[in-house]
Chain A
Amino acid sequence: MNIHQHRGKVWKFGDDVDTGQIIPGQYIPLTDPHELAKHAMEAVAPDFAGQVKPGDVIVAGRNFGCGSSREHAAKALKYAGISAVLADSFARIFFRNAFNVGLAAIPLENAGKLLLPGQQVELDIPGGTIRVLDTGQEIKLPPLPGIMLEILEAGGIIPFTIKVIGQ
């Protein structure tokens, strides 16, 4: 598997998960992503940070990441081990922040209905598929804008910008 193929468990959340639920405001003065990761989803899912494993994915409903522009939210999830967030829709700043820190955010209509909490899944981002290992079901993912894939493949906007400046 390359760095954009992942295997892990589905964590499920609802609609309008705002960035304050992803990382509460009290932790914003922190800049170390590993420290932020310890508090990911703390206010709404206190067990999350302790139990999440590398490769796990978040599946959510509409408007994931609404509210504040804090990049801390995307970083907290990435450094907690989350490989991708699949949601019916995203708030735009979280969507950008996710790619900018090297976390895939994939809009998938009915994500919340197609994938169930606790299911083991295998995600192939360049291939555009997610496979439910328990059932063998394969779900096609919508294509992402080219620039976002380039940023993700570079590992985020900082390594991407280093490349751009170098050219």
Chain B
Amino acid sequence: MSGLTITEKILARAAGKEKTVPGEIIDAAVDLVMTHDHQGPMTILEFSRLPVKKVWDPSRVVMVVDHRTPSQTVRASENHRAMRLFAREQGIDTFYDGGAGICHDLVAEQGHVLPGMVFVATDSHTVTAGALGAFATGVGSSEMAALWARGRIWLRVPETVRVRLSGQPDKGVYGKDIALYLLGLVKTDGLNYKAVEFRGPGLPMVSMDSRLSLCNMTLEMGAKNAVVPPDQVTLDYLKGRAGQPYAAVDSDGDACYADTIEVDLGDLPPLVALPYSPDNVLPAGEVEAGGVAIDQAVIGTCTNARYEDLWVAAKIMDGRKVAPGVRLLIVPATRTLWLRASTEGLLDIFVRSGAVVSYPCCGPCGAYGMGAVTGEEVCITTGSRNFVARLGDPRARIYLGNAATVAASAVAGKIVDPRKYL
């Protein structure tokens, strides 16, 4: 009998079983759930149709206002108000109002998601939290309403694909580039319904910020969850954050994998996804050779607006200016991070360079109150999606890259390989 992967172990524990096998359908107890102002209002509405008055355990429910904040419409304000009232009525203390930050960053930074947990949230990028060694996956509003009532969810146990990382990444190469490389390889549905497990001798070279970014983008490959076995990087990150004790889980040596993908980090250049799919990937240097002038550059979203991203962007922007005709929008992921960037002078560097620094929110990921582009314009963003009409006009051309690539491109006025700026 073969051993279990991390995902199979976590799900077995949640289902009260000794083991689970891929394909099996289980009824799992969840440890933590989260919703935000894009799906929270609909979740509250669906919850009101159920014959229960109270959520099963308010201490396991997180609510975040991050998508439509600061509110620009009465409708969004009504949604936020409904969430505030619901949190108060239900005794949900972990309610983060507008300005606290992006939900996926908050649940990691504030120590809510811990290794070994089952974490379910109403957002596709819930997979981000797998970077901490949790099982984390996204659902819709009605399913969350049912979860609020029962604290349980049915899940099909996914097959696990192992990604073995080796080598050391070049400067200017981050978790985003590992994700884009994999997207180019497996395409947007290549890991549909799969668990993706990142391990190997290269893993210690990948920072927690990069791991969060990497796990985040596995959703664009169709993954059900991504997971990184907790190691020293994880323990260091959780020190002083974890709100409660936790038990790290790792795969057995003889665990069964559906597939193994080898990635030599040393081979990766900074990569860019071209319109209109995150799997349409080329090295930034090749895009540079093609001469792609840009109108807007964005450093933000749950994919890449963490400290590592702001730090490298500031390193590039220091003493340089945003190119004439280009607007650079920088949206740090959380308030804590915003303050750190402020204290360390990073925000001053951005503003002096001509960038606009916004308060923490999801805004520029889907042009929610900021970052819309016209049909004639080109945008490069650290976000995760460049689908048709993602930032407004369906003709707008959206490119994806890491924070260094975006910062360097903003300076150059066109998409460039950032390594010569570092």
Interface positions of A (Cβ within 8 A of B): 16, 18, 20-21, 24-25, 28-31, 43-44, 62-63, 66-72, 74, 89, 91-93, 96-97, 100-101, 145, 147, 156-158, 160-162, 164-166
Contact A20 B124 (CB under 8 A): no
Contacts A16-B189, A145-B156 aside, 19 further interface pairs with beta carbons under 8 A come to A20-B366, A21-B389, A24-B389, A28-B38, A44-B389, A62-B189, A63-B192, A69-B126, A92-B222, A93-B138, A97-B140, A97-B143, A145-B25, A157-B143, A158-B145, A161-B146, A162-B51, A164-B150, A166-B51
Counting chain B residues whose Cβ lies within 8 A of the other chain, the interface size class is 35 or more
From A20, A29, A62, B387 is in contact (CB under 8 Å) with: A20
Do A44 and B388 touch across chains, with their CB atoms under 8 A apart?
yes
Q: Which of B53-100 contact A (CB under 8 A)?
A: 67-68, 73, 75-76, 79
**Residue among B68, B122, B154 with the most chain A CB within 10 A?**
B154
CB distance from A8 to the nearest CB of B (A): 24
Pair B146/A158 contact, Cβ less than 8 Å: yes
State whether B188 touches A165 (Cβ < 8 A): no
Those of B225-241 within 8 Å (CB) of chain A: none
A10 to chain B, nearest CB (A): 22
B interface with A by C-beta (< 8 Å)? 25, 38-39, 41-42, 45-46, 49-52, 67-68, 73, 75-76, 79, 122-124, 126, 138-143, 145-146, 149-150, 154, 156, 188-189, 192-193, 220, 222, 224, 277, 366-368, 385, 387-390, 394
Quick one: closest A residue to B158, CB to CB?
Answer: A92
Known: A29-B75, A96-B140, A161-B149. A69 touches B122 (CB 8 A): yes
B192 surroundings in chain A (CB, below 8 A): 63, 89, 91-92
Residues of chain B within 8 A (CB-CB) of A100 are 140, 142-143
Chain A neighbourhood of B189, CB < 8 A: 16, 62-63, 66, 89, 91
User: Contact: A72 with B52, CB < 8 Å?
Assistant: no
Q: Is B39 a contact partner of A71 (Cβ separation < 8 A)? A: yes
CB nearest to A98 among chain B residues: B140
A20 to B278, CA, bound (A): 14
Docked Cα-Cα span, A101 to B139, in Å, equals: 12
Asked whether, in the complex, the Cβ of A158 is within 8 Å of the Cβ of B193, the reply is: no
Query: In the complex, what residues of B have CB within 8 A of residue A43's CB?
Result: 388-389, 394
